[in-house]
Amino acid sequence: MDKIQFNKLEILKQLEYVNLNLKQGQTLRAIAENIGISKTTIRERLFKIGYTYNATNKLYEKINSEGIQIDHEEVKTQQEKAREVKNHIRDTTKKVSDIVVDRPDHRPIYSLPVKTNIKPQTQAFNIVMAKVLVKRLDYIGKAKGYSRNELINYICNMVIDDLEK
């Protein structure tokens, strides 16, 4: 690849090209000479997007905000775990929506109470939810005139009531 072709590549494609050649045993100096640019240019471009050379792995790897190199295998493992959790949530959500719950008070699980102006004592805390659930809550809330927090409080109340039985 010559300098013009290399410069036309997006920066992540440049990184991919450099790492591919490093994996094949070439040095950064040899890669730079083949392209027709200095190795400092390559190093600076990759550093600007947060990559430094890892001599152990002989690759350019991402560094985090503390300047610590990130182990790409660990990142892949974490991404795979995140995908598994996301898929589990998606699958569980589908299954829950298909379940018919036998409730002692014979009220359907999806019925909402009449909205009142009574404001219970509250305490704020962070909650992380799958985006699809947030979108569904917002859609239902908008259609029924409830805020996301009111729906979450109602759902939590129902679950806690059922668990306490």
pLDDT digits (tens, 9 = 90+) for 128-142: 888 888 888 888 888
* Residue 39 burial (10 A CB sphere; 0-12, 13-18, 19+): middle
Q: Report the percent of the chain where pLDDT is more than 90.
A: 28
Residue spans of alpha helices (H) in the chain: 3-8, 11-23, 28-35, 39-48, 72-98, 131-144, 148-164
**pLDDT surpassing 80 at residue 103:** no
Q: How many CB atoms lie within 10 A of CB 141?
A: 17
Per-residue pLDDT tens over the stretch 60-78: 988 765 555 555 555 566 6
Cα(151)–Cα(136) distance, integer angstroms: 11
Mind listing the pLDDT tens digit for each residue in 106-127? 555 555 666 666 666 777 778 8
